[in-house]
Amino acid sequence: MIVTGACDFSSSLSIASSSSSSTVSVTTFNISSLSSNPNIINSSSTLFRSLSFSLIRHRSSYSRRSLRRLSIHTVHGNKTQFFSHSSTRTPPLFTANSTAHRSGTFVEHLTGITESEEGISEANGFGDVESARNDIRNVATRRVETEFEVRELEELPEEWRRSKLAWLCKEVPTHKAVTLVRLLNAQKKWVRQEDATYISVHCMRIRENETGFRVYRWMTQQNWYRFDFGLATKLAEYLGKERKFTKCREVFDDVLNQGRVPSESTFHILVVAYLSSLSVEGCLEEACSVYNRMIQLGGYKPRLSLHNSLFRALVSKQGGILNDQLKQAEFIFHNVVTTGLEVQKDIYSGLIWLHSCQDEVDIDRINSLREEMKKAGFQESKEVVVSLLRAYAKEGGVEEVERTWLELLDLDYGIPSQAFVYKIEAYSKVGDFAKAMEIFREMEKHIGGATVSGYHKIIEVLCKVQQVELVETLMKEFEESGKKPLLPSFIEIAKMYFDLGLDEKLEMAFVECLEKCQPSQTIYNIYLDSLVKIGNLEKAGDVFNEMKNNGTINVSARSCNSLLKGYLDSGKQVQAERIYDLMRMKKYEIEPPLMEKLDYILSLKKKEVKKRPLSMKLSKEQREVLVGLLLGGLQIESDKEKKSHMIKFEFRENSQAHLVLKQQLHDQFREWLHPLSDFQEDIIPFEFYSVPHSYFGFYAEHFWPKGQPEIPKLIHRWLSPHSLAYWYMYSGFKTSSGDIILRLKGSLEGVEKVVKALRAKSMDCRVKKKGKVFWIGLQGTNSALFWKLIEPHVLEDLKEHLKPASESLDNDKEAEEQSINFDSNSDHSDDCVNSEAHF
Distance of CA 518 to the CA centre of its chain: 25
- The CA distance from 117 to 614, in Å, is 64
User: Which has the higher per-residue pLDDT, 137 or 491?
Assistant: 491
pLDDT digits (tens, 9 = 90+) for 671-697: 788 765 555 444 677 788 888 888 888
Strand, helix or coil at 35? helix
Angle between helices 721-731 and 620-631 (to 10 degrees): 40
Closest by Cα among 75, 71, 14 to 45: 75
**Long-range contacts made by residues 229-233, C-beta under 8 angstroms, separation at least 24?**
229/146, 229/148, 229/255, 229/258, 229/260, 230/71, 230/146, 230/147, 230/148, 230/149, 231/148, 231/197, 231/200, 231/201, 233/146, 233/262, 233/263, 233/265, 233/266
At 153, the pLDDT band (50, 70, 90 cuts) reads low
Cβ within 8 Å of residue 4, ≥6 positions away: 71, 145
pLDDT of residue 69: 38
Tell me the per-residue pLDDT of 500-526, one tens digit each, with 9 for 90 and over: 999 999 999 999 999 998 878 899 999
Please, how many CA atoms are within 13 Å of residue 832, restricted to the half-sphere of its CB?
Answer: 10
665 or 68, which is more confident? 665
Specify the pLDDT at position 124: 37
Mean pLDDT of the residues in the chain: 76
Give pLDDT, residue 620: 87
**pLDDT of 77 strictly over 80:** no
Q: Please state, in angstroms and as integers, the Cα–Cα distance from residue 362 to each residue in 329, 592, 753, 805, following that order.
A: 15, 39, 55, 53
CB 291 within 8 A of CB 302: yes
Q: What is the mean pLDDT of residues 742-757?
A: 89
Whether residue 252 has pLDDT greater than 80: yes
Question: Is residue 592 over pLDDT 90?
Answer: no
With bands split at pLDDT 50, 70 and 90, how would you rate the model's confidence at 445? Answer: confident
Q: Give the end-to-end CA distance of the chain in Å, rounded to a whole number.
A: 50
Return the pLDDT at 2: 36
Residue 607 is predicted with a pLDDT of: 52
CA dihedral 34, 38, 41, 46 (to 10 degrees): -160
**28-42, 230-244, 751-765: least confident range:** 28-42
Least confident of 38-42, 184-188, 406-410, 713-717: 38-42
pLDDT of residue 544: 93
Average pLDDT over residues 148-175: 78
pLDDT band for 612, please (50, 70, 90 cuts).
Answer: very low
The more confident residue out of 93 and 289 is: 289
Q: Taking the model in full, what pTM does it have?
A: 0.60
pLDDT at 59: 34
Instruction: Quote the pLDDT of residue 369.
Output: 92
> What is the DSSP secondary-structure string of 781-803?
HHHHHHHHHHGGGS-HHHHHHH-
Residues 332, 291: Cα–Cα separation, whole Å: 9
Beta carbons of 722 and 628 less than 8 angstroms apart: yes
DSSP code string of 121-159? -GGG-TT-HHHHHHTHHHHHHHSPPP-EEE--GGG-S-H
- Higher per-residue confidence, 646 vs 836: 646
- Mind listing the domains of the chain with CATH numbers? 620-798 (3.10.28.10)
How does pLDDT run across 757-816, given as a tens digit for each residue? Answer: 999 888 888 888 877 788 999 988 888 899 999 998 988 888 888 888 643 333 343 433
| Amino acid 63: pLDDT | 34
SS3 81: strand
